[in-house]
Amino acid sequence: MQERGVAVDHSTLNRWVLKYAPEIDKRIRPFLKPTNDSWRVDETYIKIRGAWRYLYRAVDSEGNTLDFILSAKRDGKAAARFFRKVLKAEHTQTPRVITVDKNAAYPVAVEELKQDQTLKAETELRQSKYLNNVIEQDHRNIKRIVKPMLGFQSFNAARRTLRGIEAMAMIRKGQVKGISRGDSVSQAEFINELFGVSA
């Protein structure tokens, strides 16, 4: 904006993020490549109004983002709600195996989903910190962007902003059909097309 001689206040940029971040997330969904049936699930911490909240995240064995959800709680109900969201995503498939850490909430959630037949009975739940390195590394990309923000002032602002951060991460990973990982020119063109913007 400065190069174009336009003065923009940081609060204006924040309003743009809150408005357009969820829209980018919504619009890229139909263009995402299918992911595989080996899930890696974990949660990381996000500070909101001085209190820690939980960002549940899942990737497949190749590191492709399956989905994410921000939660005030870290329990079986929150984990089950997250799994249901991931299963509804168009680019995901029913998992053959779900790898998690030692959080006691995950077995409770998986059992609940098997009982109501949301998950197949043969879906394997593995609790292994070593095998979850893929998602632990993936958290770093999100934390690198969130950390300088020094926390969010509201749950809604955090939720909307994180949707944009996660969406851009999926685009950069090459999860969009026809766009390669690291191809920043094609990525920018794709976002322009999403919003009907001419270069």
Specify the pTM.
0.91
Residue 18 lies in a domain: yes
The pLDDT assigned to 151 comes to 86
The pLDDT assigned to 198 comes to 64
The answer for residues whose C-beta is within 8 angstroms of residue 14's C-beta and 6 or more apart is none
Residue 172 lies in a domain: yes
CA distance 15 to 48: 18
Residue 1 lies in a domain: no
Q: Each residue of 156-183: pLDDT tens digit?
A: 999 999 999 999 999 999 999 999 998 9
Q: CATH number for the domain including 120?
A: 3.30.420.10
Residue 137 lies in a domain: yes
71 and 78 in contact (C-beta within 8 Å)?
yes
3-state class of 164 per DSSP? helix
CA distance 120 to 54: 27
Residue 175 belongs to domain spanning? 10-194
The average confidence (pLDDT) of the chain is 94
5-9, 17-21, 98-102, 141-145: segment of lowest average pLDDT: 5-9
154 and 51 in contact (C-beta within 8 Å)?
no
Mean pLDDT of 56-77: 97
* Tokens representing residue 43 in the block: 């949660």
Mean pLDDT of 66-90: 97
Label residue 101 exposed, middle or buried (CB < 10 Å: 0-12, 13-18, 19+): middle
CA distance 51 to 6: 36
Q: Each residue of 132-160: pLDDT tens digit?
A: 889 999 999 999 999 988 889 999 999 99
Q: What confidence tier does 129 reach under pLDDT thresholds 50, 70, 90?
A: confident
Domain total of the chain: 1
The pLDDT assigned to 199 comes to 55
Residue 110 lies in a domain: yes
Q: Smallest Cα–Cα separation from 185: which of 166, 165, 199? A: 199
The answer for residues whose C-beta is within 8 angstroms of residue 126's C-beta and 6 or more apart is 97, 98, 99, 100
* Tokens representing residue 147 in the block: 């950390």
Residue 149 lies in a domain: yes
Residue 5 lies in a domain: no
Strand partners of residue 65: 59
Strands (E), 31-135: 38-48, 51-60, 65-71, 97-100, 124-127
Residue 134 lies in a domain: yes
Share of the chain above pLDDT 70, in %: 99
